[in-house]
Amino acid sequence: MSVLLEYETLQPVSADVASQVHNDQRLLLYSRSYWIEPLWVELESSPPSKLQGCHKMFMSGGYSNGRDQWVDVSEDEDWLMAWSDAAFAVKQLAQWSAEHGIDWVFLSYGESIGRIVAGTPDSDIDEYLSGMCEMTRLDPAMVAEIDKKYQSRAEPTVLPEADGARSMKSIPQINFTATRQKKSIWWWPW
């Protein structure tokens, strides 16, 4: 199951707001462990420019680790971790909405899931997140345990600094598999 959670602003944003959001999201790469792909938004290239982004939500049965070994992931664990990343995306975009006066729409398969307006997610987003959490029989308190259990899905890499120097901080290099045929795709958000 290759499902994307998509998000975009409802109105164009200034270059200053886009720059602030970009700086915030780079810091999030250091402070959050993502299940598959990090929350990442960017400014559309053609004016008037909106912020838009997406991330893959599910492992779809497992992944190939850095040693070409297949690691199975249960459906319940996959749903719980997808819920965790979706809930985090909603929380972060709500924060940016409140801070910068930008509203967001969430989509999946091109259909609206809900909106964040003036920093507040609507009831449709709440229902979507509740439905995701209900798809698993696991307690949301297990997110950290599952993240640690599957730590082989992310190999550390070094983030280049803006001035060209290399940072010693590690961030995950996400290794995910789109199908059970074990075709790995390496993805970096920069």
Looking at the predicted structure, is the pLDDT value of residue 27 above 50? yes
Identify which has the larger pLDDT, 163 or 146: 146
What pTM does this model have?
0.79
Q: What is the pLDDT of residue 184?
A: 32
CA–CA distance, 12 with 6 (Å, rounded to integer):
17
Q: What is the pLDDT of residue 46?
A: 81
Least confident stretch, 19-23, 61-65, 147-151, 160-164: 160-164
Looking at the predicted structure, is the pLDDT value of residue 53 above 60? yes
Q: What is the pLDDT of residue 155?
A: 56
Distances, alpha carbon 6 to alpha carbons 92, 151, 157, 159, in Å: 14, 25, 26, 25
Return the sign of the alpha-carbon dihedral for residues 18, 166, 156, 171: negative
Rounded to an integer, the average pLDDT of 148-162 is 66
Locate the domains of the chain by residue range. Answer: 4-187
Looking at the predicted structure, is the pLDDT value of residue 165 above 60? no
Identify which has the larger pLDDT, 18 or 190: 18
Rounded to an integer, the average pLDDT of 6-25 is 94
Distances, alpha carbon 103 to alpha carbons 23, 25, 47, 98, 163, in Å: 19, 17, 18, 9, 33
Q: What is the pLDDT of residue 1?
A: 53
Q: What is the pLDDT of residue 137?
A: 87
Looking at the predicted structure, is the pLDDT value of residue 187 above 80? no
Looking at the predicted structure, is the pLDDT value of residue 78 above 90? yes
